[in-house]
């Protein structure tokens, strides 16, 4: 008789086993279903319903119409609630370590022993959205160094596939040093990448986007624009220098013209009776001028007497 019951139970386990997949967000709520097709014929007060994880630790037990907490593992106490209408167990405050398989068993409790009416296997996966990738400038932009950037994204799950940079509407993926780390407590991943890229000749502006790819999505950063500071600076300085040169040329030409006019006026013939003349060949600046009219009588008195 015992053997017959064992065979009967085994047949029921195989034929009535249900497998489902569900997904929950980190720190959110997971729904572990246990749909019972025979619920309309059997009262919950006649059943034992419980969930256990892959380590056989009990999450929740509903025993003949009443919650039974003494068999629940400490890590799940206060984290579950049972939805009787939908035959679903809610697991709250989901963590990455909660990922895995969960079994729900529905047993009927006859006067002696118990019969497993249904088993539901739920495969739970947990996701956490990565933060939006953020681009930071590692050093100042110059023509020699180009752009040196880092991009980071944090607190995500599952492990990201890759991170790369796109430059000025190009489809070529750039990235020199992708690094992935995992927090020992939360088991969440963080990722970073770096880029060193020169400005091509004749190009003074670049737009950069950082892209993170996971198994299910692609996340892009806000576009960052980078411009060479030398280009507008050099142009402005050249305009200033050119203006100074033009001004100096005009000043020099004006000075030369004025000097020539002055020299022409100085070299015009003058009347000896009225004008004091200074010898142009004499370099001595201290020599006094000589008046020819005053020298006349002196010269006459100096002549010898003809008589």
User: In Å, what is the CA distance from 290 to each residue of 70, 265, 273?
Assistant: 136, 21, 12
CA–CA gap between residue 19 and residue 34 (Å, rounded): 10
Q: DSSP secondary structure string, 142-154?
A: BTTTBEEEEEEEE
19-127 matches 131-227 in fold: yes
Task: Quote the pLDDT of residue 102.
Answer: 98
Task: Quote the pLDDT of residue 30.
Answer: 98
Tens digit of each residue's pLDDT (9 = 90 or more) over 150-195: 999 999 999 999 999 999 888 999 998 999 999 999 999 999 999 9
Which pairing describes strands 17-25 and 115-127: parallel, antiparallel, or unpaired?
parallel
pLDDT of residue 248 exceeding 60: yes
Q: Is 102 helix (H, G, I), strand (E, B) or coil?
A: strand
Tens digit of each residue's pLDDT (9 = 90 or more) over 62-77: 999 899 999 999 999 9
Query: What residue spans define the domains of the chain?
Result: 19-127, 131-227
CA–CA gap between residue 60 and residue 63 (Å, rounded): 10
Query: Would you say the pTM of this structure is higher than 0.85?
Result: no
Tens digit of each residue's pLDDT (9 = 90 or more) over 24-61: 999 999 999 998 876 667 888 889 999 999 999 999 99
Count of CA atoms in the C-beta half-sphere (13 A) of 173: 9
CA–CA gap between residue 176 and residue 164 (Å, rounded): 9
Confidence of residue 278 (pLDDT cuts 50, 70, 90): very low
- Under CATH, which architecture does the 19-127 domain have? Sandwich (2.60)
Task: Quote the pLDDT of residue 70.
Answer: 92
CATH of the domain spanning 131-227, picked from 2.60.40.10, 2.40.30.200, 2.40.340.10, 3.40.630.30? 2.60.40.10
């Amino acid at each position: 008789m015992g053997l017959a019951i064992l065979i009967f139970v085994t047949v029921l386990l195989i034929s009535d086993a249900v497998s489902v997949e569900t997904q929950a967000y980190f720190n959110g709520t997971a729904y572990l279903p246990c749909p019972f097709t025979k619920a309309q014929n059997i009262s919950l007060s006649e059943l034992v319903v419980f969930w256990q994880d892959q380590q056989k630790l009990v999450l929740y037990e509903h025993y003949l119409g009443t919650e039974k907490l003494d068999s629940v593992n400490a890590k799940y106490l206060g984290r579950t609630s049972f939805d009787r209408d939908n035959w679903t167990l809610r697991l709250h405050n989901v963590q990455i370590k909660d990922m895995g398989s969960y079994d729900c068993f529905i047993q009927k409790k006859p006067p002696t022993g118990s019969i497993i009416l249904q088993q539901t296997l739920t495969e739970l996966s947990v996701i956490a959205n990565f933060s939006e990738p953020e681009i930071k400038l590692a050093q100042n932009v110059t023509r020699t160094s180009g752009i040196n950037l880092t991009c980071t994204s944090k607190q995500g799950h599952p492990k990201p596939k890759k991170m790369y940079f796109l430059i000025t509407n190009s489809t070529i993926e750039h990235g020199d040093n992708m690094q992935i780390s995992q927090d020992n407590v939360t088991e969440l991943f963080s990722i970073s990448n770096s880029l060193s890229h020169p400005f091509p000749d004749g190009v003074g502006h670049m737009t950069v986007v950082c892209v993170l790819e996971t198994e299910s999505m692609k996340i892009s950063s806000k576009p960052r624009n980078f411009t060479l500071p030398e280009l507008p600076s050099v142009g402005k300085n050249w305009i200033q220098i050119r203006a100074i040169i033009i001004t100096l040329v005009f000043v020099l030409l004006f000075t030369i013209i004025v000097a020539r006019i002055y020299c022409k006026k100085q070299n015009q013939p003058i009347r000896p009776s009225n004008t004091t003349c200074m010898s142009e060949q004499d370099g001595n600046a201290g020599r006094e001028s000589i008046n020819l009219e005053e020298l006349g009588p002196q010269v006459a008195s100096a002549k010898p007497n003809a008589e």
